[in-house]
Amino acid sequence: MMSSGNDCQPQTFTKPAFGEKEATELVDRVFGLKVSWIRPLPSYDDQNFHVCVSRNKGAAEGADEYVLKITNSEDSQKPDLIEAQTRAMMFLSAEGFPSATPYFTKDGNIMSLEPDTGPGNKKYMVRLLTYLPGTPVAKIATNTQILYEVGKLAATLDKALSEKFHHPSVKSLHRGQFIWNLANVPLLDQYIYALGQNKYREVVQRVIEQFKGEVIPKLSSFRACINHGDLNDHNILVDSSSASLENPQYRVSGILDFSDMSYGYYVFEVAIAIMYMMIESPDPLSVGGHVLAGFESVLPLTEEERGALFLLVSGRFSQSLVIAAHSALLYPENEEYLMITAKTGWKHLMKMFEVGQAAVEKTWFETAEAYAKHAPAK
């Protein structure tokens, strides 16, 4: 099913540019809350503010923290999609997952389309979401326990969404040619020119060709589900549940950014998680086994799904690298930020192909088997 608009275009958006004063007025006007302090948060294509509001008279003394999320102008034209994402967050929170929930507008809605004060009359979708505590995985030294937890989270999250989330807006998650859906690796052909003639281009072309030949024909044999689609090291927050500095035990305290949600397959989610956890690791090729073990403790992969894992992880690296290069051409001022992941990403993708699929899979699957052997009987 084709999706609406320019979903297959990577990053052609107008990022909102509200000042702190305008954002403060927005919170008051739309949500009826008084801001006591506000600060901008980093974001790729939307605008986010961390806001603290003072509680109304009569309520307990104190303050509440939220994230004011102002969606870019293009995505703001897809209210059904934003609604599906927000309803999914509400559903997951009710199921016990640490996801944010919206503070309702004065009119009792989960979001509001608000005009820009500047020229161009663009409108932006505005939401106020609960602020989640914790440290992004990107900021901690990952250990095998957190890798396992992330894998387990990927499986339980998709399983809950796919089995129990039935809000009518869910149909908008059939996003056709959405460029970040892993099934759409072949669409990278259109953007590969952004890599110029550098040495990496060849390996990406190889990934795309192998993907077309070996993954696309097998898609129908994979188990379908709803994917979060972006369980990266900045979108998973953790806090340490033990005081031991040598061996901290982490638990997931927040899941952020549902904007890449779409219908896909269970194996996509574990591949995406593996790729992003590799970025942070000093020993990237070993990461996959620990993430896979966590995932398979909830949802064991089939033979076909396992067989596609190497190319799916490589495909996600390729998406990330090509889209970053393309965005850097469009928005040179963001180049430095865009290229942070890219630097490590290239290194890891090249390494995967140097070592080769068979050896990488052997490492992953043997690590995962070792967990399965020691697992307590269910």
Active-site positions read: 230
Query: Sign of the CA dihedral 133, 136, 140, 146?
Result: positive
Amino acid present at 48: N
Q: Is 22 exposed, middle or buried (0-12, 13-18, 19+ CB in 10 A)?
A: middle
| CA 378 – CA 363 distance, rounded (Å) | 26
Give the closest residue to 5 by CA, choosing from 174, 123, 120, 177.
Answer: 177
Backbone angles phi, psi at 251, to 5 degrees: -130, 150
Give the closest residue to 154 by CA, choosing from 277, 248, 42.
Answer: 277
Q: With residue 129 as reference, give the H or E element that holds it.
A: strand 123-130
Give the closest residue to 62 by CA, choosing from 54, 50, 70.
Answer: 54
DSSP 105: P
Query: Sign of the CA dihedral 145, 164, 128, 230?
Result: positive
Contact call for residues 83 and 110 (beta carbons, < 8 A): yes
Phi-psi region of 36 (alpha: psi -120 to 50; beta: other; left: phi over 0): alpha
Contact call for residues 228 and 260 (beta carbons, < 8 A): yes
Contact call for residues 177 and 8 (beta carbons, < 8 A): yes
| CA 368 – CA 311 distance, rounded (Å) | 18
First to last CA, the chain: 40
